[in-house]
Every structure is written in C-alpha cells, then in structure tokens.
Amino acid sequence: MNAAETITIDEVTALLKAAASRDQRTIDTADTLAWWQDLNTARVSYPDASAALSHYYANVWPRQDPRQRFRATAPVLIELVLAIRKQRLADSDFTYEPRHWEETGAQYVVRLREQIAAVADGREPAQPAGHAILRKRPVAELVAGIADAKHLPPEIADVIARRRPQSRSIACPYCNAPRGTNCKGPSGRDLSTGVHPGRIDAWAVAVAGCPACFAEPGHPCTETDNAGQRPYAHGTHRARAAAAQNAPSQPREVQ
C-alpha cells in the first residue's frame, strides 16, 4: 500500500469476492477500480470496510424485502464506516494533546487532524515522548476526597469571605437569590459582579444609617425638595453604601 492508499486493489478485490459470495453478483475490473477509488477517496481502511460489509449482510440485508434487496455498494460501506468512526470518537478515552508553544497554528491543526483520524480508525494516536493518554475514570474516583477538601482552614475561609460581596448576606429583592448566593441574570447565569445594585442598596439600608439624610438602619434614604421630604430617587446615598462597608455589626453570610 502506498502512502496515498487506505485500501489496496487486492483488498478491494477481496471485499468484492466476499460480497459476491453473499449476493451472487458478477465482478469485473471496472467494479474493482470504482470501489478502490471511492473507498480511498473516503479514506476507508480494509478492516473497517470488511466489518461494514459483514454488518450489512448480517443485519441490513435480512430486513429488506427479498424481492427488493439491494446489494452492498461502495457508498453503502462508506456510510456504515462513517458511523463506526463516529462511534469510536464518542467512546474514545483519548484526550487530544495540547499545542506546544513552539508550534504554528497550521502545524497544530495538521497534528490534531492526524490524531482524530487515528482514533476514528481504531489506532492509538502517535504521542510525543513523555505524553500520556488520559483515561476516563469513574465518578466515585473523581470525587474521592472532595468532602474533606470542602473544609478550608479558617484563615483561608476568612479571606475568601471578605472578598465576596457583603450584600450577599441578604436575599436579593430583584432576582430572589437566596442569602449567601450570587444574583442571577436573565439567562440564569451568575452575574459577573455577583449582585444586583438593588441588593447592595437593600443591604446598606439593613446594616447602616445614612450620613447624608440621617436615615436610621432599616429605614430607606430620603431627600428633601420644595414639596417636602420624599424617598430618595436613586435607592441609597453613596455615603450610606460606604458606611455599610464599615458597619461594626452586619448579618452573617450563610455558608
């Protein structure tokens, strides 16, 4: 077999003879050349073509009406082989090798395609020295030890807690996120900022008085105009949010 072939003329001849033994077809040189060209164009190997041929006559052929049975053709084998290759990729434990820093993008694409083709063909892809193929592991093995890892040392837990938005210590009045959890956007994903602005306002009202309008903790901010005193139109004063950051007693965040 030369480098451009995935299946030789002799192997195609063997396939056609195997087909003829089942469906009593006659074979000539034109048949052989047509199959050889089609199977090589589709990059089908002899083992896969032979397996597809056996599958066709053992499983597909018997279900056809005896008066309308179709003999196996190269396109039929190609379709079956594509299904085999797709299943191999789905079942494979192979994890593709990451790109080396000195490679160009084009080199990486070539190597990646070679690896995918090898997995689809049922071969083990070539790996550089020292590179190991990762295997799939049972869930129990993957999660072993997680229970112990959840309990962080107090000094680490304290640093993490200080970096979380303090307003998570109350439920969000906008999206109803429970205490101790991040707010959600319309898509259901966590907000990049962690909390909605309205939650920050509600938290500031709960834990601190306002230096700007002198509202007591638990009471909303107000503003005064010619018509008298009314609720502050922008939620809470900035000074109150700043004061809340330094409030000596705040609701503890649910862990």
The answer to whether residue 255 sits within a structural domain is no
pLDDT at 131: 47
Residues in CB range of 71: below 8 A, 6 or more apart = 19, 23, 25
Q: Integer distance in angstroms from the first to the last C-alpha of the chain? A: 66
Range of the domain at 213: 162-245
Task: Please give the average per-residue pLDDT across 137-145, as a whole number.
Answer: 59
pLDDT at 130: 43
**186-243: pLDDT as tens digits:** 878 887 777 888 888 888 898 888 888 888 888 889 888 777 888 887 778 888 888 8
pLDDT at 147: 57
Task: State which of 68, 91, 114 marks the end of a domain.
Answer: 91
The answer to whether residue 156 sits within a structural domain is no
The answer to whether residue 100 sits within a structural domain is no
Task: State which of 64, 91, 118 marks the end of a domain.
Answer: 91
- The answer, yes or no, to whether residue 102 has pLDDT greater than 70, is no
Is 161:253 a contact under the CB 8 Å cutoff? yes
The rounded distance, in Å, linking the Cα atoms of 123 and 95 is 14
Largest CA distance in the chain: 104
Chain-centre distance for alpha carbon 223 = 51
Task: State which of 91, 122, 150 marks the end of a domain.
Answer: 91
The answer to whether residue 167 sits within a structural domain is yes
The answer to whether residue 96 sits within a structural domain is no
Q: In sequence order, what are the beta bridge partners of 229? A: 224
The answer to whether residue 75 sits within a structural domain is yes
DSSP 190: B
Is 217:205 a contact under the CB 8 Å cutoff? yes
- The answer, yes or no, to whether residue 77 has pLDDT greater than 70, is yes
How many folded domains does the chain comprise? Answer: 2
